[in-house]
Amino acid sequence: MAISYKRVLLKLSGEALMGEDAFGINRATIIRMTEEIAEVAKQGVELAIVIGGGNIFRGIAPGAQGMDRATADYMGMLATVMNALALQDALKNHGVVARVQSALNIDQVVEPYIRPKALRYLEEKKVVIFAAGTGNPFFTTDTAAALRGAEMGVEIVLKATKVDGIYTADPKKDPNATRYSRITFDEAISKRLEVMDATAFALCRDQKLPINVFSINKPGALKRAVAGEDEGTLVHI
């Protein structure tokens, strides 16, 4: 693999870990994902990961109806910690050293987020998994990805989804929809394309931090995205 990017941040949704299950973590799915992540890490790429918690929270969502938004968001942050630990364990089984840092203090389980330590881990070629979002309610893990990406000085944010890029229309509804190979931030705004939540998108734009939206379910997609190939959709200045 010819490496194009030396330091990247991978944004993984919690839903990506479900596979075909209704909620939770599908073992076969996480093994397949970590195989690809491990392959990239072993090529010398400095890799940070921000992970969501929707797959865990989905299992308790019916009981959260009518709950205070801040309380529900904190529950979601705890769900990301569970996913981060599962991902760390799966990477260990593939011979990759990973460290989990949480924006919430849970010292008995994971270490707190400390920027200089996270940077040192990356320089040591350890995978750093950021859990608990930004540590604040009302902010999504997309925003956490943009924030940590800027703090870590990554070259690109790779947003792994179930769709292989950004389309002119919903490909499930419109068979004539076509995928954008590249698009600027301004074009995405003018066309009202949903790339990330508005806060995250604005932060990436202000920091001139490109975003690549690609499908994590497509074999080899992560490797090709890191290599700078035409994989997914590149959003740039």
> Is position 232 annotated in a ligand binding site?
no
> Is position 17 annotated in a ligand binding site?
no
> Is position 5 annotated in a ligand binding site?
no
Query: What span, in angstroms and rounded, lies between the C-alpha atoms of 13 and 170?
Result: 19
Sequence-distant (6+) residues with CB within 8 A of 177 are 167, 168, 169, 170, 171
> Is position 68 annotated in a ligand binding site?
no
> Is position 170 annotated in a ligand binding site?
yes
Max distance between CA atoms of the chain, in angstroms, equals 52
> Is position 44 annotated in a ligand binding site?
no
> Is position 139 annotated in a ligand binding site?
yes
> Is position 214 annotated in a ligand binding site?
no
> Is position 134 annotated in a ligand binding site?
yes
> Is position 230 annotated in a ligand binding site?
no
> Is position 19 annotated in a ligand binding site?
no
> Is position 112 annotated in a ligand binding site?
no
> Is position 66 annotated in a ligand binding site?
no
> Is position 4 annotated in a ligand binding site?
no
- Is the Cβ–Cβ distance between 156 and 166 less than 8 Å? no
What one-letter code names the amino acid at 113? Y
Quick one: which H or E segment has residue 7? strand 7-12
> Is position 80 annotated in a ligand binding site?
no
Distances in whole angstroms, Cα of residue 233 to Cα of each of 30, 39, 49, 157, 195: 24, 22, 19, 12, 10
Q: Buried b vs exposed e over 157-180: b needs ≥16 C-beta within 10 Å? A: bbbbbebbbbbeeeeeeeeeeeeb
> Is position 53 annotated in a ligand binding site?
yes
> Is position 130 annotated in a ligand binding site?
no
Q: Which residues are part of a known binding site for UMP? A: 53, 73, 134-141
Q: Which residues are part of a known binding site for ATP? A: 11-14, 54, 58, 161, 167, 170
Q: Which residues are part of a known binding site? A: 11-14, 53-54, 58, 73, 134-141, 161, 167, 170
